[in-house]
Structure formats: C-alpha cells, structure tokens
Amino acid sequence: MSSSVNIILTQCSRTFSGGHTALQPLDLHINAGETLVLLGPSGCGKTTTLRIISGLESPDQGGRVQFGGQDVTTLPIEKRDVGMVFQNYALFPNMSVADNIAYGLKIRRLSRSEIEQRLAEVMRMVDLEGFGERRIEALSGGQKQRVALARAIAVRPKVLLFDEPLAALDAKLRDRLRLEIGQLLRKLGTTAVYVTHDQDEAMALGDRIAVMQAGRIAQLGTPQEIYHQPANTFVADFIGAVNRLVVTGKGADGQLTVPGGELTAPHLQEALSVYCRPEDIEVVALADAQVKGRVLQSIFLGQSQQLMVDTGGATPIQVKASSRQHWPTGAAIGLTLPPQALFHPELSHSKLATTSAKEQANG
C-alpha cells in the first residue's frame, strides 16, 4: 500500500458565477492516515470542499491544495491519485463487477496477473467474492456500493474521498456498511475525507469531524470534543439533542434559577442559558428534585424512553429515561441535572479557566 499523505487547504474559497460564495476562505489541515468527516446541513459547502480536494472543482484565485507537501492545485482529478465513492455509485451499468473494479487498473496498464491479484484482494476486502461476473444491474444497492468501494481502493490511491456514499441505502444496511467502511479505512490507513449530513455516521467514522455552517468550519475536533464541548451554539444545537434552559436568576453559591427549579453550576455563573443533553438528566424522587415538572409526552423507544417535561419554561425539557417505568401524560416528575453535565458553548471550560486565572491574578 502507498504510504499516506496529509492534505493541506490554504485559503480555499469558492464563489460561483452570480456571486454566490459557497465556501469562505478555508484553511484545513488533514493529517496523514486520518479520516476527516465534513458534516453539516444541506448547502453548507461540504461537497464543494470535497470537490476542491478531488480536483473536480478549483478554488478561487489564491487558494492552494497540497497532498503530502506537493502542490496539486492545478492538477485535474486524474492526476491527483484519488479514489472517489459517490452516493449514486457512478458505476458502468453494462459492465460486470470485475470489469468495473478493474477499470482503473487497466487504464494504469497494470499487468494481467497484477490485475487478477488486486481484483481478488479487494473483492475479498469488500465481501464480494464470487460476484465478479455479475452485471451491475443485477446487484442490490449495498452490493453496488461495495463495488464502488472496491473500485476506489483497487488503484491504491493516496487519498480516498466519499460523498454521502450511504445516503441511498436503508437504515440497517447503512449501519452495516458504515461499520465495514470504518474497518477498511483503519486497515488501509489511507487519508480519507468523508462527506455526510448524518451525525451518527460522522461520529462512527471520523477521527475528527469538521462541522460546517454556511461555507465555514464551525468546529473541528474529535467526535468527543464536538459532542461534549461544542464550540458554539450552532454546533451544540446541530449535534445530538440538547436542552437549552433560560436562566432567570442567579443566587450565591452558583445557584442558577431556571423554569421549574434551581441548578448548581458554579462554573456557569455568567450564563444566560444552560445547555444539557437529554441522557445526562436524571429522573429522581420529587423530594430530591432540583427541577420539577409534568410529563407532556412519553415516547417508548425500546432501549430508552423519551420524555418531554413541562417545567414552566418556553420549551419543554427533553429527558432520555429508562424505558422500564411508565410515565402517563400529566404525571409529576422530578429531575436532577448534574453540574458536570451543564454547559454553555460560548463559555467553554478552558475559557472559564483562563478567565478565573486572570481574575485571580488581578485580585
């Protein structure tokens, strides 16, 4: 296998004719061998970024793309040594599975025996053994995507690029292929960039995730960082479910008054609102509750139960509770929100630590 390369984008913007800026000037460093996921809502610039990396699209004047120290900005896709996998497979429908996979190898004029060997290798890797003579039309969606994957890795590219490869597949197949792609990427160690708008897919596959918003990167970090330390309210709201509780008063000793009760959050004294994930909220006896409310709705999900609790605020609090206990609509319920589970994106822990260190120095 070819050794992996890093990818560096420098000041890559893209303005389309008509003046629409799809991508603001972007600086991005993708480590050699890592899988970077570009995640974000429709139209945020994920595909444009991927196409700039692939060479299908050029950045505006001044933008630069480097692979492993080599400037590839002006190289077309066929000279960049990239493998691509698309949502719509982009296979040759009239050719067999083997001919599709071997296509790039023939163009590269590999010997017959080398081609045979690589075919066998990649077909084993994507679990398509015995399918070589099948026609593409006679395959399921999942099998077609395996062929596309095999074709992309067969040429042993420097970089693998994925544009929503699982979007057309049903949920169960998507989960399975996601797992397999993850294993394959770890095994190959090829630098990969993966575009999706599916958070679960991003979390499962990304060594790091770049969350994009309106042509910019809103946050770049590991899945854990993105989920537990969102850098801003956009990321906090976009990734996973999150409750936002408006703070209506502040007491001594870090007490924050929110609809339905008071929370202990000494690290969030400045907050105007407090964020908390549904799974971090505990259901407790009313006598022990910090926040009290009434169940508006309970949705049984098998593994858990989603409760919507009215605590008198503008929006109900979402709680992920055990699915064992039945909560009829209107039931009184007690909640506890542990201090460590409370956060405010714009008041990150590090920022607060710096502030308090400064305050201490001044005081």
Ligand X SMILES: Nc1ncnc2c1ncn2[C@@H]1O[C@H](COP(=O)(O)OP(=O)(O)OP(=O)(O)O)[C@@H](O)[C@H]1O
Helix or strand (DSSP H, E) at 139? none
Q: Which residue lies nearer to ligand X by CB, 197 or 216? A: 197
Indicate whether 300 belongs to the interface with ligand X (CB under 6 A).
no
CA–CA separation, 195 and 212 (whole Å)? 11
Listing DSSP states for 273-293 in one string gives EEEE-GGGPEEE-GGG-SEEE
Q: Which residue lies nearer to ligand X by CB, 43 or 339? A: 43
CA–CA separation, 26 and 215 (whole Å)? 9
Listing DSSP states for 193-233 in one string gives EEEES-HHHHHHH-SEEEEEETTEEEEEE-HHHHHHS-SSH
Indicate whether 47 belongs to the interface with ligand X (CB under 6 A).
yes
Q: Which residue lies nearer to ligand X by CB, 116 or 198? A: 198
CA–CA separation, 342 and 243 (whole Å)? 10
Indicate whether 151 belongs to the interface with ligand X (CB under 6 A).
no
Q: Which residue lies nearer to ligand X by CB, 46 or 267? A: 46
Enumerate residues 6+ apart whose C-beta is below 8 A from 86. 148, 163, 164, 165
Q: How far is the CB of 24 from ligand X (least distance, A)?
A: 11
Indicate whether 261 belongs to the interface with ligand X (CB under 6 A).
no
Q: How far is the CB of 45 from ligand X (least distance, A)?
A: 4
Q: How far is the CB of 41 from ligand X (least distance, A)?
A: 7
- Structure-block tokens of residue 231: 């850098």
Give pairs for 177-181: CB < 8 Å, separation 24+: 177/142, 177/145, 177/146, 178/204, 178/205, 179/204, 180/126, 180/127, 181/149, 181/205
Q: Which stretch binds ligand X (CB under 6 A): 16-24, 216-224, 237-245, 259-267?
A: 16-24
Q: Which residue lies nearer to ligand X by CB, 41 or 251? A: 41
Site for ligand X in 26-45 (CB under 6 A): 40, 42-45
Q: Which of 16, 121, 200, 251 contacts ligand X by CB under 6 A?
A: 16
Q: Which of 48, 191, 243, 298 contacts ligand X by CB under 6 A?
A: 48
Distances (CA, A) of 356 to 83, 228, 337, 339, 345: 49, 21, 24, 18, 17
Q: How far is the CB of 57 from ligand X (least distance, A)?
A: 8
Q: Which residue lies nearer to ligand X by CB, 47 or 269? A: 47
- Structure-block tokens of residue 264: 């202990």
Q: Which residue lies nearer to ligand X by CB, 55 or 260? A: 55
Q: Which of 12, 30, 37, 46 contacts ligand X by CB under 6 A?
A: 46
Site for ligand X in 173-232 (CB under 6 A): 197
- The number of beta carbons lying within 10 Å of the beta carbon of residue 172 is 9
Alpha-helical (H) ranges within the chain are: 46-54, 97-107, 112-125, 141-154, 171-188, 199-205, 223-228, 233-238, 349-362
Q: How far is the CB of 325 from ligand X (least distance, A)?
A: 39
Q: How far is the CB of 216 from ligand X (least distance, A)?
A: 12
Indicate whether 20 belongs to the interface with ligand X (CB under 6 A).
yes
Q: Which stretch binds ligand X (CB under 6 A): 46-54, 88-96, 201-209, 232-240?
A: 46-54
Cα-to-chain-centroid distance, residue 302: 25
Q: How far is the CB of 212 from ligand X (least distance, A)?
A: 7
Instruction: Please tell me the count of residues contacting ligand X according to CB under 6 A.
Output: 12
Q: How far is the CB of 115 from ligand X (least distance, A)?
A: 34
Q: Identify whether the C-beta of residue 339 lies closer than 8 Å to the C-beta of residue 219.
A: no
Indicate whether 85 belongs to the interface with ligand X (CB under 6 A).
no
Indicate whether 109 belongs to the interface with ligand X (CB under 6 A).
no
Residue with structure tokens 């409370």? 342
Q: Which residue lies nearer to ligand X by CB, 44 or 342? A: 44
Which residues form the interface with ligand X (CB under 6 A)? Answer: 16, 20, 22, 40, 42-48, 197
